[in-house]
A and B are shown apart, each in its own frame.
Chain A
Amino acid sequence: MRCEHFRELISAYIERSIAPPLAAKMDEHAAECASCRAELEGVRELWQMMAEAKRVEPPVSLHSRIMQEVYASVPAAPAPRWWELAWRPRFAFAVAAVLALLALVVWSYNTQSNAIALSVVSGGGSPVSPVAVSTLPTRFEPFLTDDGDLRWMLKMNASHPTSVEVVAGAQAVWSGSVAQETTAVLPAVPQGTVLDVRVVWDGSNVLRAWLPAEISQEQRKPVLVLKQRSIEETLAHIARAYGVPLVLVGETDPLTRVNLESTGVALDEMLTRLAEKLDLQISRAEDGTTVLTAR
């Protein structure tokens, strides 16, 4: 039996769907040919490994993300996604022009410092529009309980009693009435979880925060490679990678996409560049939480 023929039959052999005389011929060949024998054993092990592979759990935020996108797609004539627009002849030129301009900017920037390559593409040819921000002033204060659980104290301030709900993923973790200096203690976070906390006020989202499940003491300079992420996803990645809380206030353009490559820079530098490109204002709360406000 030729090795080539043997290899074609390996799967059938393992599944025992092969006729006995043919199987016997394969045994003979395997006894003589070390490489075919190794091939057979290799495929067998691989098969076993895949049979034992564990199912992965989707991220907590996946469900709400799906529903958000589905609801957004509901109107009879759905707004075309930015990549669909890019391929319509009318817009292709405009998008190419924007890309060309940004690429030039990024490239010339890159010759100065190799650390970050950041490009932002806004969808549909419309610029990122300034957002009228009406916010509920908030402050996040992380602390560790005696058991080592990470908790978040959320302090909110409203001029008149306002009904507020704090949602993490698809679950409401706190709701109540906020007046002067109201404090909410959010539930414990299991190690490795990233909380996506939304304060829903008057039915609209005004605040989102990415709170890594541990507060890192040392200065991290992680390598980051992100492609075609929304602004929120980009900030979520950065919060996780650097191990610091980030808070976004206001509405950002959902069509904007960010490409980011960083070979490892300090957090301050990363945030400064990002704020510039995404037109966000950086400020710092008393507890050290970085707050980014969409203009």
Chain B
Amino acid sequence: MTPSDDSQLIERCRNGDREAFDELVRRYERQAYNLAYRLAGNYDDASDVVVEAFVRAFQGLHTFRGDANFGTWLHRVVVNTFLDMRKRSKGRQHVSLEEQLELDGDTLTRQIEDTSPGPQELVEQEEREEVLQRAIAQLSPDRRILIVLYHFENLSYEEIAQMLKLPVGTVKSRLNRARLALREILEPSRELFGR
């Protein structure tokens, strides 16, 4: 999809054309979902993030410059939505009694939620991917975002630097550290990855 195809669609959206937005969503929902999934670590949260991100995108269309790349802009919206939703769910004021009922730590909860209730046995490849995804989910949000943008969304160092408003050198060194951290998390699972 070239930017020029999108810009016509976006113009129509700005004029309140619902069908145009429907089409725009169809073009980008898969990409947005993949990004959200890698950031959130599970399918359900990914859906929530994507839905909220598109609502924001729709409401914020008037701030989007027609000549810019919609995909890149949407990337940023998804990342910000993920961070906001994460902040909300962590910062919510629960009465202390209720906290006792919640499982300790995001990781454990996420592990249970990640268990797909399906009778199919996981093939080795899928197991590896699950372990990888869970490891990514254990990174801090900042590191996770870097890893996902570079390795899954295939953005360049420069594109990431632009999106996050950081110097390119900083992005490179932080990404390096994120890779080392990820490797350390995966270390115990080495038998699964023997090549």
Partner-B contacts on A (CB < 8 A): 7-8, 10-12, 39, 42-43, 45-47, 49-51, 53-59, 62-63, 65-67, 69-71, 73, 78, 83, 86, 92, 96, 99-100, 102-104, 106-107, 110, 117, 119, 191-192, 214, 222-223, 225, 227-229, 233, 240-241, 261
Q: How far is the CA of A107 from the CA of B100 in the complex (A)?
A: 9
Q: A39-B183, A45-B195, A214-B119 are known; give 13 further A-B pairs, CB within 8 A.
A: A42-B187, A47-B151, A47-B179, A50-B152, A63-B25, A63-B29, A65-B51, A83-B88, A96-B93, A99-B94, A106-B98, A191-B120, A233-B44
Nearest-Cβ distance from residue A33 to partner chain B, whole angstroms: 15
B89 contacts A228, C-beta separation under 8 Å: yes
B51 contacts A69, C-beta separation under 8 Å: yes
Residue of B nearest to A83 (CB): B88
Contacts of B89 in A (CB 8 A): 227-228
Q: How far is the CA of A78 from the CA of B113 in the complex (A)?
A: 32
Contacts of A104 in B (CB 8 A): 95, 97
Return 13 A-B CB contacts under 8 Å, by A number: A11-B175, A11-B176, A45-B193, A53-B132, A56-B37, A65-B51, A100-B95, A103-B95, A103-B97, A104-B97, A107-B98, A110-B101, A192-B120
Residue of A nearest to B96 (CB): A103
A107 contacts B94, C-beta separation under 8 Å: no
B95 contacts A10, C-beta separation under 8 Å: no
Partner-A contacts on B (CB < 8 A): 18, 21-22, 25-26, 29-30, 33-34, 37, 43-44, 46-47, 50-52, 54-55, 58-59, 88-89, 92-95, 97-98, 100-103, 109, 112-113, 115, 117-120, 128-129, 132, 147, 151-152, 172-173, 175-176, 179-180, 182-183, 186-187, 193, 195
B179 contacts A67, C-beta separation under 8 Å: no
Q: How far is the CA of A140 from the CA of B176 in the complex (A)?
A: 55
B186 contacts A69, C-beta separation under 8 Å: no
Q: How far is the CA of A45 from the CA of B50 in the complex (A)?
A: 30
A11 contacts B179, C-beta separation under 8 Å: yes
Q: How far is the CA of A68 from the CA of B34 in the complex (A)?
A: 21
Contacts of B152 in A (CB 8 A): 50, 53
Residue of A nearest to B154 (CB): A51
Knowing A107-B101, A110-B101, the reply to whether A70 touches B58 (Cβ < 8 A) is yes
Nearest-Cβ distance from residue A114 to partner chain B, whole angstroms: 10
Partner of B109, one of A42, A69, A222, A225: A225
Contacts of B37 in A (CB 8 A): 56
Partner of B112, one of A59, A191, A225: A225
Nearest-Cβ distance from residue B80 to partner chain A, whole angstroms: 16
A62 contacts B172, C-beta separation under 8 Å: no
Q: How far is the CA of A67 from the CA of B52 in the complex (A)?
A: 11
A103 contacts B25, C-beta separation under 8 Å: no
Q: How far is the CA of A46 from the CA of B120 in the complex (A)?
A: 26
